[in-house]
Amino acid sequence: MNFLFLSKLIPLFIYPLGLSCILLIVALVLCLKRSRWTFAPVSLALIILLTTSNVRVSNYLVKTLEWQHLPPTEIPNADAIVVLGGATRNVSPPRIMPDLNENGDRLLYAAKLYQDGKAPLIIAAGGRIDWYGSEVPEATDMAAILQTMGVPSEVIIEEPNSLNTYQNAVNVKEILLRKKLNRVLLVTSAMHMPRSLLIFQLQGIDAIAAPTDFLVSQQELQQQDNSLESTILSFLPETNSLDNTTKAIKEYIGTFVYRFRGWL
């Protein structure tokens, strides 16, 4: 098994849903053995799910990542805009063209920065894992979507080989050296920005954070306590909060793994 596969597989047993399922399987085994400790893994699974699906917990964890690099009042000019992959779904029936996924704001923001004259080039960085069955690299789909937004094809440079953020930075650096460029606006989701920016900067790239796709804004934080009704609802489990908590945990795990690998 390669590192990429293990990096996708192992965290599933640490994320709230996966860990809760494991605990429930343990509880089932204990139940079959008529153990008096069956309640312990069931209780722990319930606590994990109730905690991680709480909007207050979710907002706090997401904010600790997203608000590390808030966008400046005025975005400076740069040599290129680098937009990281993870924002599209590939063409596959019944889709007739690449779709934007929940991270699609990355491409929208990159197109806006280009149209605002912040940089003359866009580097679309992202490949696709072959054992997922996709043959078209994400960079190609990103380029197609950018063109539908009015970005000329001649200003888009595709980087189709990277399968993670570290490879994004290494491969983009090669492009920048070849083109004699250095200063870039780094566009990715706000939650992904702390790890991404540090990796790019450690490659010697003059990267400026241009975060987008914020999951937690002032409105979400204020909404928790706007009224008695919203306060009550903020303590109830919610699937969206569970998803956001999982994304935050994924980023923290990613940072740990990258440090362990010597990439940070």
In which region does residue 178 sit, left (phi positive, over 0), alpha (psi from -120 to 50) or beta (all else)?
alpha
The pairing of strands 80-84 and 122-125 is parallel
Given this model, what pLDDT does residue 156 score?
98
**Residue 1 pLDDT > 60, yes or no?**
no
- Burial (CB < 10 A; 0-12, 13-18, 19+), residue 18, is middle
Domains identified in the chain and CATH numbers: 3-67+243-261 (no CATH), 80-212 (3.40.50.620)
CB under 8 Å to 49, separation ≥6 — which residues? 16, 17, 20, 237, 242
Cα 224–chain centre separation = 24
Please, which pLDDT band fits residue 225 given cuts at 50, 70 and 90?
Answer: confident
State the DSSP H helix or E strand holding residue 233, giving kind and residue range, or none if neither.
helix 228-233
Average pLDDT for the chain:
93
**Residue 196 pLDDT > 70, yes or no?**
yes
CA dihedral 112, 185, 84, 221 (to 10 degrees): -70
Look up residue 103 and give its DSSP letter. Answer: T
**Residue 24 pLDDT > 90, yes or no?**
yes
Looking up tokens 């900067």, which residue turns up?
201
Measured CA to CA in angstroms, residue 75 lies from 50, 70, 109, 116 at distances of: 40, 11, 12, 10
Listed range (56-60, 108-112, 137-141, 257-261) with the worst mean pLDDT? 257-261
**Residue 113 pLDDT > 70, yes or no?**
yes
Neighbours of 45 (CB within 10 A): 21
Listed range (62-71, 197-206, 230-239) with the worst mean pLDDT? 230-239
**Residue 8 pLDDT > 80, yes or no?**
no
Mean pLDDT value of segment 222-250: 91
CB under 8 Å to 114, separation ≥6 — which residues? 81, 122, 151, 155
Please, which pLDDT band fits residue 198 given cuts at 50, 70 and 90?
Answer: very high
Given this model, what pLDDT does residue 133 score?
61
**Residue 205 pLDDT > 80, yes or no?**
yes
Listed range (15-24, 81-90, 129-138, 235-244) with the worst mean pLDDT? 129-138
Mean pLDDT value of segment 43-59: 96
Looking up tokens 């207050």, which residue turns up?
56
**Residue 152 pLDDT > 80, yes or no?**
yes
State the DSSP H helix or E strand holding residue 99, giving kind and residue range, or none if neither.
strand 99-100
